[in-house]
Amino acid sequence: MLRAEESLLVLRGLGIQTSSSSPTYLSTATTRFIPTASIQDIFIHEAFKGFEVRFYLAIVVEGEEDAVVVFPKLLPRRPILEEVWRGARACLYEPKS
């Protein structure tokens, strides 16, 4: 069974890379790199879909009107997003030693 895959790679001191691939050959894989200097914030937000609350991880990029949603197709549950959020912030904003 084919599945969609989405990933977030945080490169300390460099930035964040998001990737997604489709389970079909009709849609192409996408990869985006956001340099650390362009990242204004990374946060978990909530949205409503019908009567259901969905949480999503988003990155605010300097100079862009819309936030970049991470894992837009998978929309993992809140505890997973919190773990990813903590890890990403720790890498991006750790104090210089």
- Cα diameter, the chain: 47
Q: How confident is the model at residue 77 (pLDDT cuts 50, 70, 90)?
A: very high
Q: How confident is the model at residue 73 (pLDDT cuts 50, 70, 90)?
A: confident
The domains of the chain are located at 5-93
Cα angle 42-66-23, degrees, rounded to a multiple of 5: 80
> What are the tens digits of pLDDT across the range 25-59?
667 788 999 999 999 999 999 999 899 999 999 99
Rounded Cα distance, 51 and 59, in Å: 25
Rounded Cα distance, 3 and 42, in Å: 26
Q: Which pLDDT score, from 0 to 100, does residue 62 have? A: 96
